[in-house]
Structure 1
């Protein structure tokens, strides 16, 4: 958790706050599998790569930072897939947040695929057709939209 959120939580405890999220979809070379991660926070199921937007970052630079930190990959943003604005999450710590999330398609431009061993325990390209079970409803929505081949630019 970034210093900004730690400072905020020290003042308000576990009360619900708004935290802008960013998520990236990285397809394999066939376009049929996407990179998913096993999270290190005790959550069950898969997760898309992403995290929270920090102060003084754009959504795009936040996602690039998250990819580098969690996967070792350098990525470029290629498209806005969608936006989900009314998801509520209770984290394992008890912290609550409403997480408006920007979902982007990305391409790899450098780096080497290596999980960080902290936030990300494992990384794997998983077939969208297999409908992988995601760790929360927001990430599941993205998988469902990709599976349905919904046109980019969707929002909820």
Structure 2
């Protein structure tokens, strides 16, 4: 099975050999819960997201990735941050790609659908803020969620 391994400021990380624009989408429901998936490739919890395909906009990619990974339909409402830290390397074991992080954090609202896991997500849940700390999550994903939850947040970029 193909795996995704995240490295952050790790001397054992492979050298980056690609950079692919991607999106992550944070959606909060009326109860204040955040939409999360448990990733099938590494077991970590994350907000939905993935690469922007040729011929689609970042908003289209966010809508598509959210639907594919969670079963939830959404519309993008704004941009929250841009993450491009060269210390974050993502290794895909299926093809040896070692990708430097380049992710645009989007905020969306639901427009329909129902929670449905996929080949990329073993579980999909609305998670309360008080439950976030107990979940296994890569620090880069936790940072995105923390920026979203920060009072008086502004556009984040690195």
Q: TM-score range by the shorter chain?
A: 0.7 to 0.9
Q: Secondary structure at the match of 1:144?
A: helix
List per-residue Cα deviations over 1:18-52 (Å, max 9, x = no partner).
Answer: 01110000102122x211101111x1321110111
Match of 2:55 in 1: 56
**Corresponding residue of 1:124:** 125
Q: What TM-score does the superposition give when structure 2 sets the normalisation length?
A: 0.79
Match of 1:66 in 2: 65
Instruction: Report the Cα offset of residue 91 of structure 1.
Output: 2.9
Q: Is the 2:16–2:89 Cα contact (8 Å) retained in structure 1?
A: no
Match of 2:8 in 1: none
Partner of 2:142: 140
- Aligned partners of 1:110, 1:130: CA distance in 2, in Å? 24
Q: Would you identify which runs of 4 or more consecutive aligned residues in structure 1 move more than 4 Å?
A: none
| SS in structure 1 of the partner of residue 53 of structure 2 | coil
User: Deviations for 1:84-124, whole angstroms, at most 9, x for unmatched residues?
Assistant: 112321234342101211101111112222112x1011111
Q: Return the offset for 1:15.
A: 6.0
Q: Distance in 2 between matches of 1:151 and 1:134?
A: 24
Unaligned runs of 5+ in 2: 3-14
Q: Bigger shift: 48-57 or 128-137?
A: 128-137
Match of 2:110 in 1: 108
Q: Does the CA-based 8 Å contact 1:80-1:152 persist in structure 2?
A: no
Gaps (5+ residues) in structure 1?
Answer: 2-13
Match of 1:36 in 2: 36
Q: Distance in 2 between matches of 1:140 and 1:122?
A: 18
CA contact 2:16–2:100 (8 Å) conserved in 1: no
Q: 3-state DSSP class of the match of 2:56?
A: coil
Task: Check the 8 A contact 1:129/1:147 in 2, yes or no.
Answer: no
SS at match of 1:68: helix
Inter-partner Cα distance in structure 2 for 1:100 and 1:150:
24
